[in-house]
Structure 1
Amino acid sequence: MAAIYSNVKFKNKGVRETGDGESGEGSSNTNDEIIYSEVRIVQSDKTVVVTTPNAADPSHPNRPGSHDPADSSPEAVTPALAKQRLLLCCLCAVLFAAGLIVTVLYVLGKISPEEKFVSEKVKIIEQLQTENTNLNTTLEEKGKIIDQLQTENTNLNTTLKERDDKIKQLEKEKGTCDPKSQNVDEICCAVGWKYFSGKCYFFSGDTKTWIASRDECLAAGGDLVIISSLEELDFLKRSKPGSGREHYWIGLSDAVKEGDWRWLDGTKLNNTPRYWKVPEPDNWKGGNNEYPEGENCSDMEISSSHFSLYDRLCDEQIVNLKRVCEAKVSK
């Protein structure tokens, strides 16, 4: 942009004479000063000096309205004109900046409503994916916590069971068997055994011969059961697992003398009490209690309302039955 400076100088270029033949009233011979303005325009490091006569001089060829279009000399620049040009340049700059801003806004506004809708949906999907990832992470963490709690609960149950078993063992070792205790079976007897009247009883689930069954009872610290009273028999009926009739080996044998049935403690089988019901064996010959030889061991058929005695082979694999063991409480 051109830098405009105004430098006004006043010079006396001469005296204008007024003769008698010239028109105009009030003419005189006085000397009038002719005023010129000198304007200095600096543009691109070049100085152009324009000398303009006073516009008040009507006879000057460069007065307003008398400029020759063919004249290529620079136009005179007044301070007012320079100010107008400066304002015009500022206005152009402002308009250019406004146009640039409008162009940018137009380009940014070229996104169609559909594209905006898709963009918003993409953002929502991305947000949902992020939330879903966070949710899955949270669920995974909760699953780990649940697994950990389950493991801890299992360990706790194991610890509690071990503690209870230890307490029971200590109570047994201290001889604290209390028949009136609610868990008398656990305190006074081994695991799986039942307490009654100072003894512990065990109903097996597996089957063996009479001899093998007695060996199992002896190894557990007892022997095959010896039934010595109606109360004990009633207890066995109540304690038998299941509801149907089943056969169990008992401690009764006539191995010493055929037909002389005795319990393992040497007590003779008493047929007087009515709770004994000895049916006839399948192969009984009849008369004088003659039982077949070899069937020297007895089992009982028992249920909650039934009891019978049978003689069986003692050591034949074809006769495998369950067993009832008994052991005295030593506490």
Structure 2
Amino acid sequence: MSNTGGSGAGDGMYSKLIDDEAGYGELNIRPDVGHSVHPVSPIRIIPRPSGPGPYRLATICLATLCAILLISIIAVTANNKNKSQKSEETSEVQKQKQEANVTALMASISKLQQEKKKLQEEKDELLLGLASRRTTKAPNVIKPTPQAAIVCPTDWHLFNGSCYFISRTTRDWPESKSFCESQGAHLAIIHTAEEQTFLWNLLPRGHWNAYWFGITDEHTEDQWKWVDGTPLVGGFWEVGEPNNHIDEDCGYIVKTRVLERVPIRSWYDAPCTMYWPFICEKEMIPGASTAMPH
């Protein structure tokens, strides 16, 4: 009987131990040996929140800002490029307009120069015609018509019944006048374009080759007279002459290296005290001696 009771008590203890181990197994905790067992609270696992976390949200914001910045840079670059292209197009248009204006201006200048040249030629023709008409009306002018051959002395040149002398020495106007008179002549009196051209062709070209001839307004300003006292009719003055720039009362002819200069526009006025070569003239009478006094 006692064995049977002991056996029942042992079986009860064994069952209890098994139950206790099952409880520990459920808690996944093994009690320390030799210590009392205390109940242990189970570990609570915090569930991970669903949806984007803070780092992901920051990444998305940063990516968005980068995209916005990139778009802004592209837009600014495109705008600057458009402005640059527009500026270049505007500059090119302005350049083309300036070139067109310069071309038009040059064409206008060329046209005006041609018109000026044409007008000058017409003026020269009119002067020649006027000089020819006035030749027959010049007062107290008697040019003998040679009826026999006239031979001028050495260094004198014959034209239309007169002999002309081109000096190689220089004198002032009064001294030139006196020299010509000492030769039985006078400072040249020039009435026609043909006579003017003849004398001008005798003169050498130079930097400023000037020669006195027989005209002056020393008695009354702007009333030019020849050495024989007759008034000037017409004349072959350069444009803007005579101008009496510095008390200029005597006339002279100029022939320079400028090929465009023409005989019928070669007279100037100058102070009578200047020293220049001169031109003498002597009207010849047929049969008279051609010898000149010395």
Higher normalized strand content (fraction of residues)? 1
* Superposition TM-score, scaled by structure 1 size: 0.37
* Superposition TM-score, scaled by structure 2 size: 0.41
Higher normalized helix content (fraction of residues)? 2
Higher-Rg structure is 1
The higher relative CO (CA closer than 8 Å, separation ≥ 6) is in 2
